Amino acid sequence: MLSTVFRRKATSVKLALSMFEEFGMIEIIDGAITIPKWEKHQNIDGLEKIRKQTRERVARHRQKQKALIKGEPQLILDCNVTVTDENENVTQEIKNKSKNKKEIENILDNSSRKTETYIPPKYYSLLESISYKYNDRFLYPNNYTLTHAQKMKIGEYLASGYITSDEVISMIERIPEDATSPLAYLFKSMENLKQERMLECKAIAHENARKKYMINE
């Protein structure tokens, strides 16, 4: 089922699950996947914020229903924003998020079509540290986590030799709280740094070649 949902090979899903189970991140009991000590990982502030937002939405909905029963065309809220305007804003926000999600899916789909690059095992523990940092920052309240394919993509940057795991973790720490897509922001930051390092290497190679040419003369 997981291989169908995430569109990945069954062997890849089994490997990912075995790694999660090995690190104690999940438990598989009679075919059911559970997270040990789930309550321990709950973000109390985040949950309270979600509950507050839910209560506010319910209250606004009830006010709107009362207004409709009374025959009022629009309901003016305390913040001087009409329900109609608010609905339009919410609709636009959903459209923007859907558009950004589609762009990210296209990027990941295109990368998944390419032949997977071999990632040496020495990078696995570093990728787990990076994944832990990313998940710790963005799991709540948006439920953003790194998938196996995304970690392997980060592993390609590490294996290139232009970026270190510490630099990736620093990038994660600097991602703005209001970033529409933390994942896209992270990959863009890594790509920019890689291109910068590649240009530096080319400049150094050019300078060394120039000096060697001058000596030979």
Q: Which run of H or E residues covers position 28?
A: strand 27-29
Residue 162 pLDDT exceeds 70: yes
| 119 against 216, higher pLDDT | 119
Average pLDDT of the segment spanning 200-216: 83
- Residue 217, pLDDT score: 62
> Structure pTM?
0.46
Beta-ladder partners of 33: 28
Average pLDDT of the segment spanning 9-18: 75
| 119 against 93, higher pLDDT | 119
Residue 48 pLDDT exceeds 50: yes
C-alpha torsion sign, points 99, 170, 47, 108: positive
Tell me phi and psi for residue 75, to 5 degrees.
Answer: -110, 120
